[in-house]
Every structure is written in structure tokens, then in C-alpha cells.
């Protein structure tokens, strides 16, 4: 007889969370890209992070029916923060 073991509540990665995580990664990759160029290095890791961030945002936009409007983004941010706090 098989038994399923869970470690607490399971969270799914809904489009809202994916969008906010992608936006956060995108914002964090910008200083890394600028720093790499300032030091004369190729921004390899920062570019990979930026590509991943873009992919996460595209995934979120395609995952939500109708996509997102620009004026919706603050509400989505507050919803995601509220989900993690409350």
C-alpha cells in the first residue's frame, strides 16, 4: 500500500506569482548587466537571468486568460504579497 507524504501546504505557481517573480528577476538583472559592462566583462549570468525573467513573464501572460493590463500590475503585486504574508 503506497502512502503519500506531503511536507506542509503545497503551493502552485500561478500566473500572478510567476509574473511578479519574473519582474523582480528582471529588475535585479539590470544592475548586474551594468556592473559587468563597467568592469569590462561579458554579462553572461545577468543575461541568462534576464532571459529567464522574460520567459517567466511571457509564461504568466500566456497563462492568464486575457493577459495583463499595465494598470493591473500594482493590484497583482499586492495580491501576491498578501498571499505570502497572510
For residues 70 and 57, give the distance between their C-alpha atoms in angstroms, rounded to a whole number.
Answer: 13
For residues 82 and 58, give the distance between their C-alpha atoms in angstroms, rounded to a whole number.
Answer: 23
The CB-based long-range contact list for 81-84 (8 Å cut-off, 24+ gap) reads 83/17
Q: List, in sequence order, the alpha helices (H) in the chain.
A: 15-38, 44-63, 73-85
Q: Express each pLDDT in 7-59 by its tens digit.
A: 666 666 899 999 999 999 999 999 999 999 999 999 999 999 999 999 999 99
pTM for the model stands at 0.80
Rg (the chain; Cα; Å): 17
Q: Would you give the DSSP letter of residue 8?
A: S
Amino acid at each position: 500500500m503506497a502512502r503519500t507524504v506531503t511536507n506542509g501546504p503545497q503551493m502552485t505557481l500561478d500566473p500572478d506569482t510567476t509574473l511578479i517573480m519574473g519582474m523582480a528577476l528582471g529588475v535585479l538583472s539590470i544592475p548586474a548587466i551594468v556592473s559587468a559592462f563597467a568592469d569590462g566583462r561579458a554579462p553572461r549570468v545577468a543575461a541568462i537571468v534576464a532571459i529567464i525573467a522574460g520567459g517567466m513573464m511571457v509564461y504568466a501572460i500566456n497563462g492568464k486568460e486575457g493577459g495583463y493590463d499595465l494598470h493591473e500590475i500594482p493590484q497583482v503585486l499586492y495580491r501576491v504579497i498578501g498571499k505570502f504574508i497572510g
